[in-house]
Amino acid sequence: MSNNGSPAAPSKTEFNKYKIGKVKSTPAIQRDLKTNLTFIELKRVVRRRKLGQGTFGEVYKGIHLETQRQVAMKKIIVSVEKDLFPITAQREITILKRLNHKNIIKLIEMVYDHSPGTINSTSNNLHKSFYMILPYMVADLSGVLHNPRINLEMCDIKNMMLQIFEGLNYIHCAKFMHRDIKTANILIDHNGVLKLADFGLARLYYGCPPNLKYPGGAGSGAKYTSVVVTRWYRAPELVLGDKHYTTAVDVWGVGCVFAECFEKKPILQGKTDIDQGHVIFKLLGTPTEEDWAMAQHLPGAELTKTSYKSTIKERFGKYLTETGLDFLRQLLALDPYKRLTAMSAKHHPWFTEEPLPSVKITLPTEESHEADIKRYKEEMHQSLSQRVPTAPRGHTVEKGESPVLKPRVAIPRGPKKDDAIPIAPLRDISSRPPSSNSRDQHQNPRSYHSNNGYSKTVAPPSATPVGINRYGTNNIPRNNRFDGSHAGPNNNRNPINRFQPETNVNSKYTNTPLPLGPQSRYQGTSTDSRYKSSANDSRYHNPRYPNKSDTSFNKPVQNYSRQEPHVISRNYNPPNGPRNAGFNHHQDPRPPQTQFPVSSSQNQNQILNKPLDNKNGSLKDERAKPDDQRSHDNNDIADLY
């Protein structure tokens, strides 16, 4: 406070904390005297490096000026007029504060841009910004897969899958569902450590956490909105409108990510929500009653009247051995209760088959983010147009320099003196010219066979009954070394030993058969009987699965499509153009933003610093409770928490 009692203007030089873009002159980072929050004056910063375009904001690269650490700054835009804080950001902040794992992105802190506000060009409204400060990650998996200069070996893919399952298992054991697993939300740091990010759609689930004893995911004890997950990564139960889904929706997403590693593009690109169902069944075959009995009782059951045959072997058999295909099939099992869990997936024999997972993935030091995909495409196009044309018959073409993709960014840079995060000296990209040839090789399944002794002649695993989760303790052969109770043979040929996951957090859940709570969907251990459809089946007397005469299940297909307006089909084209070429159908699954008032500085402070309500493990913030504060455009929003 100044002498005359009015709040003093914040000092311009008091705190120099973050700057977007390269460090040049002294940035304007200050602290608000009233709230004690730090803020940066973005108007002064001219150069920004945009990493990604989110649905409701943008992600920038910045520098923490005190430590010189690179950070990512995820912008959250708050309309000054409405004075509302987006619910997805609220959720993400709350959940990230609770999580602490090597394979989950960390929230360093929140900063508030205290400048008078900026006018949004599209809405013409005055906006203010909050920033989530996250550790800077050199790449995301979407950028890596689209980068023609990066060729992932099978051992790297295995390593990445193990890391993804480590992170996902942690989230699931902490009783959260992520609900937006996709390649763009899997970040990679300079040490090759993968981090699951973007918890804007995540939520706490009800019921017991998963364990190895029971197949299927956890969390079926309540009704949730099925309008979650980016469409192309949406599990079939969501596509069919199931509201009692489980953590298995995340495992489906990982299955899509796994397959995307081979095709380098999302594998299930439905054009509409209904089409998504067709695309899924075209790959995996229309489920029979035996395959997925519950499908008949979901709102979108009409889709199961199609008769597609599975094409998974034709499509992915060229990349994967029988064991690998079995792994993919179990990640993409149509029935969520036959799908692997994050906990059991790590024990699949595919990880013990040659080539074993690499100890550490080494990627080029080039930054590869989702925002770079457009550039890669342009480069590819340019490279192809520069190719020496083939000579007409009987003629020769003089040999010129073969077109080579030249990276725009300085790639192999050694650690600088003031780099707090040393860039690891990784593979020398210059020795691997990313010619069109290498791209071809990239798509060639045989490239996975090179140098690593990987061969398709590896004996497939012995046949196991379909529909049983083979890696739960229930089903594991007695001498199975991957039962999760021990680390397996003590040598580094065993991937469980080679790959060193963080084990501390989940150990308490591993191998601890938890009592089935009242919410548990299936009681007892007889897997066969669970999937049998019979009039006496207790599921049909369960209010969650009303019998067929229930009108909601008898909806003709038109009715189902009429529900589509509930699905927010906002086009994925931000004001400054499509997010990335070829992603035009990349539908935003999020419901309209429910927002909370953040008018006073005190409220802002609450959002950023309020300790979580830990009672009963609840993450709900008090401000999230009163229903009347929410703008319910449809009932699904009420489900979001």
Ligand X SMILES: Nc1ncnc2c1ncn2[C@@H]1O[C@H](COP(=O)(O)OP(=O)(O)OP(=O)(O)O)[C@@H](O)[C@H]1O
C-alpha–C-alpha distance, residues 283 and 171, integer Å: 29
Token representation of residue 220: 């079926």
In the complex, minimum distance from the CB of residue 545 to ligand X, in angstroms, rounded to a whole number: 32
Q: CB 588 → ligand X: shortest distance, Å?
A: 7
The least CB distance from residue 105 to ligand X, in Å, is: 6
Smallest gap, in angstroms, from Cβ of residue 419 to ligand X? 16
Closest to 76 measured CA to CA, from 27, 40, 126, 127? 127
> Which residue shows structure tokens 């094409």?
311
| Shortest reach from residue 104's CB to ligand X, in Å | 11
Closer residue to ligand X, CB minimum distance, 60 or 350: 60
The CA distance from 393 to 571, in Å, is: 48
Nearer to ligand X, 57 or 255 (CB): 57
- Of 152, 51, 72, 62, nearest to 375 by C-alpha is 51
Q: Which is nearer to ligand X, 77 or 174 (CB)?
A: 77
H or E element: which one contains 624? Answer: none
Sign of CA dihedral 486, 491, 493, 499: positive
Is residue 119 within 8 A of residue 126, CB to CB? The reply is yes
- The binding site for ligand X (CB under 6 A) comprises 51-52, 54-57, 59, 72, 74, 105, 134-137, 140, 180, 184-185, 187, 197-198, 200, 369-370
Least distance between ligand X and beta carbon 477 (Å) = 41
Q: How far apart are CA 485 and CA 495, in angstroms?
A: 15
The total number of residues shown for the chain amounts to 641
- Name the residue among 320, 261, 264, 259 with its Cα closest to residue 284: 259
Residue by residue, DSSP assigns 469-525 as -TTSTTTS-TT-TTSSSS--SSSTTSHHHHS----TTTTTTTT--PPP-TT-SS-SS
CB-nearer residue toward ligand X: 105 or 227:
105
Tell me how far apart the alpha carbons of residues 312 and 453 are, in angstroms, rounded to a whole number.
25
Write the CA distances from 236 to 252, 253, 324, 375, 526, integer angstroms.
9, 11, 21, 33, 24
134 or 567: CB nearest ligand X: 134
**Nearest CB to ligand X, comparing residues 140 and 166:** 140
Tell me if 271 is assigned to a ligand binding site: no
Decide: 560 and 302 in contact? Cβ < 8 Å. yes
Give 63 or 155: the residue with its C-beta nearer to ligand X.
Answer: 63
Distance (Å) of CA 437 to CA 316, 381, 443, 601: 22, 14, 10, 58
Set 180, 189, 483, 636: catalytic member:
180
Instruction: Report how far residue 480's alpha carbon sits from residue 497's, in angstroms, rounded to the nearest whole number.
Output: 15
From the CB of 91, what's the least distance to ligand X, in Å?
11
User: In this structure, what is the dihedral angle of CA atoms 187, 190, 192, 197, given to the nearest 10 degrees?
Assistant: -20
In this structure, what token pair is assigned to residue 268?
């299930």
Of 75 and 530, CB closest to ligand X:
75
Q: Name the residue nearer to ligand X (CB basis): 42 or 104.
A: 104
CB of 232 to ligand X, least distance (A): 12
Please provide the distance, in angstroms rounded to a whole number, between the alpha carbons at the two ends of the chain: 40
All residues at 6 or more sequence positions from 9 whose CB lies less than 8 Å from its CB, including other chains = none
Locate 35 and state its tokens. 């709230």
In the complex, residue closest to ligand X by CB: 54
Phi, psi of 29 (to 5 degrees): -115, 125
**CB-count exposure of residue 451 (10 Å: 0-12, 13-18, 19+):** exposed
Position 629: which residue type? Q
The Cα 151–Cα 171 span in angstroms is 29
Nearest approach in angstroms of CB 554 to ligand X is 36
180 flagged as catalytic? yes
Question: With left for phi above 0 and alpha for psi between -120 and 50, is residue 605 left, alpha or beta?
Answer: alpha
- Report the distance separating Cα 300 and Cα 239, nearest Å: 7
Bind-site residues for ATP: 74
Residues with catalytic annotation? 180
Bind-site residues: 74
